[in-house]
Structure 1
Amino acid sequence: MIARLVLAMMVAAAAPAFAADPAPPPNRFAATLVPAERFEVGTMLVERHGQRGRPLILIPGLASGSWVWQGTARQLMGDYTVYIVTLPGFDGRAPAPGKQMEAAQRALAQLIDTRKLVKPVLVGHSLGGVLALSLAAQMPERIAGVVSIDGLPVFPGAEDLTARQREQMAQSLARRMAPADQRAFAAQQQDYMRGTGVLDMARADELAKLSARSDPGAMLHYMAETFAMDLRPQLPKITAPVLLIAPYFEPDAVQHELTEETKKTYYASLIEAAPRAQVVMVSPARHFAMFDQPERVNEAIRTFLKAL
């Protein structure tokens, strides 16, 4: 259970187009929303949609860009001001110098400060959810709520390890997963998207082509840094409500002897130190639940926002 759950949270990226290849057809999951404004905060790209209502900051996960949030933004931009960020190193962005997670945290805090965002809600997927939890603990008086889609305060299966053990395992996993070249990286990540990312194989292949624009080295750094983290001691500082959306797909879960209820209980145990946290299950869905079950995910987010 531990090894498979850890790997299931790790990565999402895939093949680039090579110069000798014919031009691919348009990708049906590519970002098509035209933002009202596009600007940079440090090495982070920000796209704003809408201009009224509470600000929402949508944070993609590993090797993902604004294309992850297209459907959610369409549903929310009429009632909220939506800021979709693309982290350094992902979706064609250059990696930040130094530690990637720290750079991302600084950029998100800078976005809130420079734009004078009043009580934004942070919505993150996977690594983006980890960043949302971390930022809410760092500046609790500034954040109105956190939605995390399959992003946990500590990697599942690593909750009983010491900090040093997590660090050692993180470095070992990063070394083992480092691709030999770009094509190996493509094959590795296509396998991930097909095995863990989403339920539909054609959709998995298309999403993998989009995430191919990310930097493999940056992805591994993010992965190692995130695996080494344990935010559970910081969770009591979060004063805002927290919604953890947990995907569940029975054929995958039975391999780990997990029912939907036991997975919910397990996720709740990892987030329980946050005073106002709740877990909502979405089924059937894999890690990118916003693609497998967009209506249910968007409805869960909207219900959470209305209750704030």
Structure 2
Amino acid sequence: MSYRIVFRAAALLMAVCAASTLHAATPSTATMQAAQAVQAGTLSIERHGTSGRPVILIPGLAVGPWVWKDTITDLEKNHVVYAVTLAGFNGTPAPSADGNWMDRADASLADFIQKNHIEKPILVGHSLGGTLALRFAGRHPDLTGGVVAVDGLPIFPGMERVSAEQRTAIAAQLKAKTEAATPAEFEAQQLAYMQKIGTLDPATATRVAPLNARSDQKAVARYMAEDAGADFRPELKAAKAPILEITAFAEQDAQMGPVKITQEQKVAYYSALLADAPNAKVIALAPSRHYVMLDQPAAFGKALNAFIEAH
């Protein structure tokens, strides 16, 4: 894969995560009744449910707990569910500029689990949240009971083909472009992404775009650059917990660069990116796009519950 193609892939990441501090109307029908949130380092965490196996939900870049509405409703009947928001997302204040923000999120989650004596939680993360969950399993194997990563990987697809220096350069360009975009550009970018990449349902795309746009623009740029420039695959070698990667597949979108791929080929590619994890499995839910839990809620819930019950 050429550097040019990889940069296009990275540009797609920018579109995925594009969000701003637009003064967009918040559709009340799209939000759920929020539980009382507590602050844990750079994380805001809601608790749902009263008993059962603990499950921690980590949404993707620029996303809030609302993306897990159906998942929380299902799981809270039999589990204690902790819904995480990263600082700067979903209308929350961005963290200070110090340090690596993904590292700080990781440390905040580990501290929260230990202080609250949460025994071997299942971590469920979407996109950036999936990346955070995977690296958490490698960094804190004794705190992790299992990981379900939803279209989130230890390295952004395509970036494994370039050097660390090239990844750093791409990440810097993404950050600069994201920070420089106007609110109008962000608005158009967010809606276009949700319509073409995020979901198969036009109504869902229209509903989700302004919700993502509530996030802090600079925070989105910062987390995005840290994710795009990183390779967390070596850290997976230390993971002890079982890992389930759920990827999206829609035949009309099945491209890797200029090449058309099958569902089996995409599963094999994701499996290769997770090869360092000693206990990882990849499945695809189709037809779906990046927001798998919104396009295939029943199939996603079934896969998630089966994983939790098995581990």
Aligned to 1:156: 157
Q: Name 1:299's counterpart in structure 2.
A: 302
Match of 2:61 in 1: 62
Q: Distance in 2 between matches of 1:213 and 1:64?
A: 9
Answer yes or no: is the 8 Å Cα contact 2:247–2:267 preserved in 1.
Answer: yes
The amino acid of 1:277's aligned partner reads: A
Change (3 A) 1:289 1:3: farther
Match of 1:40 in 2: 39
What's the secondary structure of 2:118's corresponding residue?
coil
1:138: which partner in 2?
A: 139
AA matched with 2:229: A
- In 2, the alpha carbon distance for the partners of 1:34 and 1:214 equals 17
* Contact kept in structure 2, 1:236 and 1:275, CA below 8 Å: yes
* 1:71 to 2:70 alignment: yes
For 1:89, the equivalent position in structure 2 comes to 88
1:170 counterpart = 2:165: no
Q: CA deviation at 1:142?
A: 1.4
What amino acid sits opposite 1:195 in the alignment? Answer: K
Q: CA 1:269/1:115 → structure 2, altered by over 3 Å: closer, same or farther?
A: same
- More deviation, 179-188/91-100: 179-188
Question: What letter corresponds to residue 100 of structure 1 in structure 2?
Answer: W
For 1:266, the equivalent position in structure 2 comes to 269
CA contact (8 A) 1:147 1:244 kept: yes
Letter in 2 for 1:229: A
Question: 1:34-71 deviations in whole A, cap 9, x for unaligned?
Answer: 42x42111232110000211111100000000101111
- Shift in Å, 1:232: 1.0
**Separation (CA, whole Å) in 1 of partners of 2:46 and 2:254:** 36
Aligned to 2:287: 284
Is this contact kept in 2: 1:100–1:218, CA < 8 A? no
Deviation at 1:164, TM superposition (A): 1.6
Distance 1:198 1:144, change over 3 A: same
Check if 1:80 corresponds to 2:79: yes
Q: Deviations over 1:170-220 (max 9, x none)?
A: 112222343432222212211211121111122111101111110111101
Report deviation, 1:225: 0.3
Q: Aligned pair in 2 of structure 1 residues 262, 212: CA closer, same or farther (>3 Å)?
A: same
Q: Structure 2 length normalisation: TM-score?
A: 0.92
CA 275–17 in structure 1, closer or farther in 2 if over 3 Å, else same: closer
* 8 A contact 2:26–2:210 mirrored in 1: no
Contact 2:191 2:209 in 1 (8 A): yes
Separation of aligned partners in 2, 1:3 and 1:302: 37
1:195 maps to: 196
- What TM-score results when the alignment is normalised by the length of structure 1? 0.92
Aligned CA RMSD, in angstroms, stands at 1.8
Q: 1:26 to 1:171 in 2, by over 3 A?
A: closer
Please give the alpha-carbon distance, in whole angstroms, between the structure 1 residues aligned to 2:282 and 2:303.
Answer: 10
For the 8 Å contact 2:87–2:95, the answer to whether it is kept is yes
Which residue of 2 is the match for residue 243 of structure 1?
244
Number of positions where the alignment pairs a residue of Structure 1 with one of Structure 2: 302
Matches of residues 95-114 of structure 1 in structure 2 within 5 Å? 95-97=94-96, 98=98, 99-114=100-115
The range that moved more, 274-283 or 9-18, is 9-18
* Structure 1 residue runs without a partner (length 5+): none
CA distance in 1, matches of 2:303, 2:6: 28
Q: Distance in 2 between matches of 1:138 and 1:16?
A: 33
Partner SS, residue 154 of structure 1:
coil
Alpha carbons of 1:118 and 1:171: their partners in 2 closer, same or farther (altered >3 Å)?
same
Offset at residue 273 of structure 1 (A): 1.2
Query: 1:207 — aligned with what?
Result: 208
Distance 1:178 1:153 in 2: 24
Check conservation: 1:27, 1:206, Cα contact below 8 A: no
Identity across matched positions, percent: 42
1:110-151 CA deviation, whole Å, 9 max, x = no partner? 211121111011100000001001111111011110000000
Distance 1:7 1:196, change over 3 A: farther
Q: Is the 1:55–1:117 contact (alpha carbons within 8 Å) kept by the matching residues of 2?
A: yes
Unaligned stretches of 5+ residues in structure 2: none
